[in-house]
Structure formats: C-alpha cells, structure tokens
Amino acid sequence: MDLSLAGQQFSLLENFKDDTRLRASFNALTHQTFEFDFEQWYQDGYWGEGYQPCALAHDGRIVANISVNLMHFDVLGERKRCIQLGTVMVAPEYQGKGLSRVLLERVLDRWQGQCDLLYLFANDTVLDYYPKFGFERVLEHQYRVALTPSAQPCSFHKVDMDDLLERQRFICAVDCAVPAARLAMCSNHDQTMFYCTSFFKDCVHYSAALQAYVVMEVADGVMTLYDVFARQALDLQTLIAQLCTPQTTRVVLGFAPLDVSGFEAQPLESDDSLFVLGQAGRIIEDARLMFPLLSHA
C-alpha cells in the first residue's frame, strides 16, 4: 500500500519479518533508535506471530514503525487479551512529517475493540501526545521489601543460557509456570526469551529443590527479582530468603506479587509511563498493579 505524506511517497509494510532486506532495514532503524536490534531473536526462532511491526518505507528503507504485540495476561485471576504497542520510532530526518500519527491511526483502526486492554509505554517527551488518541496515563505500583542481612543455604545456581538444552528446559518451565503475580503474562516464552537471551542472559537461576527458575540481578545490595517460573505456587518470602546474601539489603520486584504481605507498594518510578486506551486501565491503578518488567516490548 502506497501513501503520500508531506510530498513524499511511502510504502506501508506489514508481515515482513522473513524478508532479509526489509528485516535488516528494520533492525538498522531499531539500533539507531534504541541501540539494540531483533536479529538474534529472529535467528533463534523466537520472533513469532505475536510480534507484528507496522512500518513505513521510503525508497525501500524503513523509516518509521509501530509494533503490535499480541499478548494474554492473568489479571486478578481473569484472563485478558491484551495488545501492547511498542518499538515506536521514526528516523530523525523523517520526524515532524506525521508518520507516527498515520501508523498509530492504522493500528488503532485495526485493533481497537479486538482486545480487553490496548496499552503502551511512553517517555516524558510524548506525555501529551497519546491522550489525543484516547489513551489515559495510568499509575503503576512496584513492590519492595527492606531486609535484615542474613545468610541462608541457597539451592539456586546460574543457568547457562547459551546451552540449548538448558534453554529448552527454561522454556518448558515458562510455558508450564503457575502465575506468581496478580498481573501475570501467560505462557509467552517468545517475549521472555527476548530478555533472557540478551539483556538478562546472565540473570537466570534454577533450583532443583524448588523446581523453580528465577530471573534476578543484584547491584549495590539491591536485588531486583524480575520474575519467578515454577510449576507450583511458592512462598515468595522463603524464596527471597534463599536468594539473598549477607550483602543484600533490599529486594525490588519486577511484578505485583500474589501475596503482598510484608511488601511495601510504591508508585513506580520509571523513565516510561503507562498509557492505556480508554478507561480499561483503571483496574491497574486501583489494585496497585504493574505490568511485569519482562513483558515490556
């Protein structure tokens, strides 16, 4: 489909992930904008039908994009079909021509009314932009707990995510895990592997005793527990006690736990703000929830 915008001709592109040339162009713009790309994710086989870019190309080069992420979440015990918009980008020399608006309107026309929640994360530079399209800013809450340093035996060991067999075991655990959060992403190992084969590749740990995986990292005495994947419900406080070292003084969760006892909920401080289309996001703010950090696309 061809479009004329600001006196230039653009091609609207979808379903191009298997086109080597277009995928390379898409990755180039992604790297220019965000300093990462999706090529390894694609080569590893995790770029599935749940991630659908909608792009504009000029002279064969992709210069603008907004991606649709088809997802399901367990929200307070109810399964919801959700769409997260992400990878919103425009090449610098094409900014100010209305390309993002054209893409956003097309995506909303296609998907509005086809899901329970349609949302995105936006930085401070565009906080006034998305409300023009019916999005409302929603406050998320993050859970944390201060600890008295102690040493307890730990049954967790680091997982080698370069080992294909270990990787497959982890994927099976993700697919079979019971929710550990009140707002939990459902069986989406493609999205989880985006993080766990790149940014958090060294953060995956496993306990044979608990038959559980965790994704966590520690910096300056603060442990960030991004997620827990286990076949049975676990006591989160007991699990945290195993993971902590004598140097750990505080634990921050990357999800809203099922049992909030002992945790303090605080408004989430982040470079990105959550915007939800319409009134559907009120439940997230009222129930003090947050989208799991590993679900951010």
- Tens-place pLDDT, residues 8-53: 899 999 999 999 999 999 999 999 999 999 999 999 999 999 999 9
CB atoms closer than 10 angstroms to residue 145: 16
Residue 254, pLDDT > 90, answer: yes
Q: What is the pLDDT of residue 149?
A: 61
Q: Which residue has the higher pLDDT, 156 or 146?
A: 156
Q: How far is CA 230 from CA 3, 176, 181, 221, in A?
A: 49, 8, 12, 25
The pLDDT, as a whole number, for residue 150 is 61
Supply the pLDDT for residue 151. 62
Tell me the pLDDT tens digit for each residue of 56-73.
999 999 999 999 999 999
- Three-state DSSP at 231 gives coil
Partners of residue 217 on adjacent β-strands? 224
Read off the tokens for 38: 């999706």
Rounded mean pLDDT, 108-126: 92
> How confident is the model at residue 6, as a pLDDT?
74
Nearest to 218 by CA among 188, 246, 185: 246
Helix axes 164-176, 189-196, angle to 10 degrees: 140
pLDDT-based confidence at residue 148 (cuts at 50, 70, 90):
low
Burial class (CB in 10 A: 0-12, 13-18, 19+), 238: exposed
The mean per-residue pLDDT over the stretch 259-276 comes to: 93
Question: What pLDDT band is residue 124 in, cutting at 50, 70 and 90?
Answer: confident
What distance in Å separates the CA atoms of residue 259 and residue 168, rounded to the nearest whole number? 29
Task: With a cut of 90, say whether residue 271 has pLDDT above it.
Answer: no
Residue 203: pLDDT above 90?
A: yes
